Chain A
Amino acid sequence: MNNFIVITLSLLLSIALTITTFPLGYFAPDWIHLFLIYWILATPGSIGLFTAWMVGILVDVVLGSTLGVNALVYSLIAYLILKSYMAIRYLTVLQQGILVLLLLLVKSTLILWIDGMMGISNYTTSLYWTPLVSALAWPLVYYFLRNLRRKYNLT
């Protein structure tokens, strides 16, 4: 129960962060995804693919993109992390940051690809700035959420 409340509240916080950093455009970190990646890594037992998918739908509404685009990539990346969280946990924060960069690059490419298939130019190639900025913000998110997790003793 404790898990549920803290994780939900932190995800709501990440949505608030996303909304307040809208003016930065593509240079805003992908807060929601960073938070979700952390929680999957730290508590794979309480966050599954369904949660990732629902967060993705939420992101679609926040960003105003076609419903399902982000849900698709969120569940895909959640699967990749769920299958390899054991290995990722042993990496240093810096190495994890690089991994986050790669994962988000894949995500951006997929989103642009789906967008192009539908013929609506919701995004431009400047979308590739977001993974870079997000990777730089990863240590921040990591230490913040780790403190939170230790404080509330989440497993």
Chain B
Amino acid sequence: MERFYKKSTADFYTLIFLLLLSISTIILDYKYNQITYIRFVINDLIIYPINKVSSLPKTFINELITESSDIKNLELELKILEKENIYLKIKLQELNSLRSENIRLRKISKASNITSKKQTIVKVISNTASPNKRVVSIDKGEKYGVYIGQNVIGVDGLVGQVIETAFVSSKVILITESTHTIPAVVDRTGDNILVTGHTDDGKLIVPYAEMGVDIIVGDVISTSGVANRFKAKIPIGIVVKKTSNRDKEFSDIEIKPFEKIGQMSELILIWDYKPKDKVNE
């Protein structure tokens, strides 16, 4: 009986100890961001290998599909790409002249927007890295110098920002996540607005847009650089719908992002921009 009693109380004290330990880790992680290296170690040693192994069947099937796709299809694709390449080269010439003109103009206005010099293309390991958030994981981490808050773009526009780094992988939150907001600007008017994700996939909204705000369908929205979180002038999307309902206080503005966010296999990291203030998750 006494032995049983002793074991019982020992268990109870273990529980109390563990509960206190949990509470202190919660406080350390939430308030001070102190123990991220634990996350770091577990991510690299356990989660990353499991992720790799569990995505093996998927990659295998994908490879099979690519291999079995017709040679004719590939030839057709090649032709299309060649055409596109010529077109883009012509465009590039125009852009080059425009760029030099732009630089000249900027020197006059003393603005300090520089185009990115260094970019890194990263592969997306999994498009759903969280059960409840739009987060993707990518295959580059601190080993390559990836940092929290780094801007992630696609070929056409903004995709998201890095929120968590490990040694060989990182997590990127997408701009379509409904709890994520970007300071943005309307290119036509220069008005500063906020752009938030939405629970519907592939849709962004402008919260708190007054009834009289000067935004029309077809306006291009890009980042404003306010709050030093995103680099300025990265294109985000185009306004596709605006409804002003008199019963509501704000107008509903819907933006379609330029990128097919959430279905991408490759992303681009840009390096010349670092958020100035410390990013807390």
Contacts and interface: CB of A to CB of B under 8 A. Distances in A.
A49 B10 CA distance: 11
Contacts of A28: 131
A121 B178 CA distance: 11
Interface string A121-138: 111100100000000000
Contacts of B30: 66, 118, 120
B179 A121 contact: yes
A120 B130 CA distance: 16
Given A20-B54, A66-B30, A71-B22, 11 more contacts: A19-B47, A22-B130, A28-B131, A56-B22, A58-B42, A64-B171, A67-B28, A67-B38, A68-B23, A69-B26, A72-B23
A62 B169 CA distance: 13
Contacts, number: 108
A34 interface: no
Contact of A76 (B19, B28, B29, B132): B19
Among the interface residues B11, B18, B24, B135, which one has the most CB atoms of the partner chain A within 10 A? B18
A36 interface: no
B161 to A, nearest CB: 15
Given A19-B51, A61-B43, A66-B30, A124 B132 contact: yes
Interface of B: 11-12, 14-15, 18-19, 21-26, 28-30, 35, 38-39, 42-43, 46-47, 50-51, 53-54, 126-133, 135, 164, 171, 179
A67 B35 CA distance: 8
Contacts of A100: none
A56 B19 CA distance: 12
Interface string A21-46: 01111101000000000000000000
Contacts of A50: 14, 18
Among the interface residues A23, A58, A62, A69, which one has the most CB atoms of the partner chain B within 10 A? A62
25 contacts: A12-B50, A15-B47, A19-B51, A49-B18, A53-B21, A57-B42, A58-B42, A61-B39, A62-B47, A64-B130, A66-B29, A67-B35, A68-B24, A68-B25, A71-B18, A71-B25, A72-B18, A72-B22, A75-B18, A75-B19, A76-B19, A79-B11, A79-B12, A82-B11, A120-B30
A114 interface: yes
Contacts of A76: 15, 19
Interface residues of A, number: 42
Given A16-B54, A67-B29, A71-B22, A49 B129 contact: no
A63 interface: yes
B16 to A, nearest CB: 10
B40 to A, nearest CB: 9
Contacts of B35: 67
A122 to B, nearest CB: 7
Contacts of B18: 49-50, 53, 71-72, 75
Contact of A61 (B28, B42, B131): B42
B27 to A, nearest CB: 8
Contacts of B50: 12, 15-16, 19
A76 B39 CA distance: 22
B15 A49 contact: yes
B25 A79 contact: no
Contacts of A69: 22, 26
Contacts of B15: 49, 75-76, 79
B131 A67 contact: no
A60 B26 CA distance: 10
Among the interface residues B54, B128, B131, which one has the most CB atoms of the partner chain A within 10 A? B131
Contacts of B29: 66-68
Contacts of A53: 18, 21-22
Contact of B26 (A26, A63, A75, A114): A114
Closest 4 CB pairs of A and B: A68-B25, A72-B22, A68-B26, A67-B29
Contacts of A114: 26
A67 B19 contact: no
